[in-house]
């Protein structure tokens, strides 16, 4: 089974950029759809973006379209989230997750989760 470790979070000013990475262990990385989720204090965990197993299809929530880019390198077993033009409302803990369901946005269909990485955007 895949295990996931996120990195790349931090504190950035509004308008800045961050790149999150999610390193996966195990041999089956390309079999999984991968997703980035985020959870702000007192709020539910929401989908940010998803990508299919071979990377040919992606989904973004409306509020990040045109600013965030999800990608994966199956040779390196790594998932990425490039975040540009960051806004204070993007502040949250960001999680990567793996799912056997193609491009799903439902958290309960993801069965492997990372520990999360904090992203804080100051105004």
User: What is the pLDDT at residue 26?
Assistant: 81
Closest among 106, 48, 54, 112 to 82, alpha carbons compared: 48
pLDDT in tens, 96-114: 999 999 999 999 999 999 9
Summarize the confidence of residues 115-123 as an average pLDDT: 97
3-state secondary structure of 3: strand
Integer Cα distance of 104 and 54 in angstroms: 15
Under DSSP, the state recorded for 82 is E
User: What is the pLDDT at residue 53?
Assistant: 92
pLDDT in tens, 43-92: 999 999 999 998 889 999 999 999 999 999 999 999 999 999 999 999 99
**6: β partners:** 22
Q: Is the pLDDT of residue 119 over 90?
A: yes
User: What is the pLDDT at residue 95?
Assistant: 98
Integer Cα distance of 119 and 92 in angstroms: 6
Closest among 95, 82, 101 to 31, alpha carbons compared: 101
Residue 19, token pair as written in the block: 């790149």
User: What is the pLDDT at residue 55?
Assistant: 82
User: What is the pLDDT at residue 42?
Assistant: 94
Residue 79, token pair as written in the block: 């998932």
pLDDT in tens, 6-52: 999 999 999 999 999 999 998 789 999 999 999 999 999 999 999 99
């Amino acid at each position: 089974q895949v295990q996931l470790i996120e990195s790349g979070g931090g504190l950035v000013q509004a308008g800045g950029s961050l790149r999150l990475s999610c390193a996966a262990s195990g041999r089956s990385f390309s079999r999984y759809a991968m997703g980035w989720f985020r959870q702000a204090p007192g709020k539910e965990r929401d989908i940010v973006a998803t990508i299919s197993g071979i990377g040919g299809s992606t989904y973004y929530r409306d509020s990040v379209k045109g600013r965030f880019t999800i990608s994966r390198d199956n040779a390196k077993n790594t998932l990425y989230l490039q975040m540009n033009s960051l806004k204070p409302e993007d502040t949250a803990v960001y999680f990567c997750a793996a799912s056997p369901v193609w491009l799903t946005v439902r958290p309960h269909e993801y069965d492997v989760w990372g520990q999360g990485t904090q992203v804080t955007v100051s105004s």
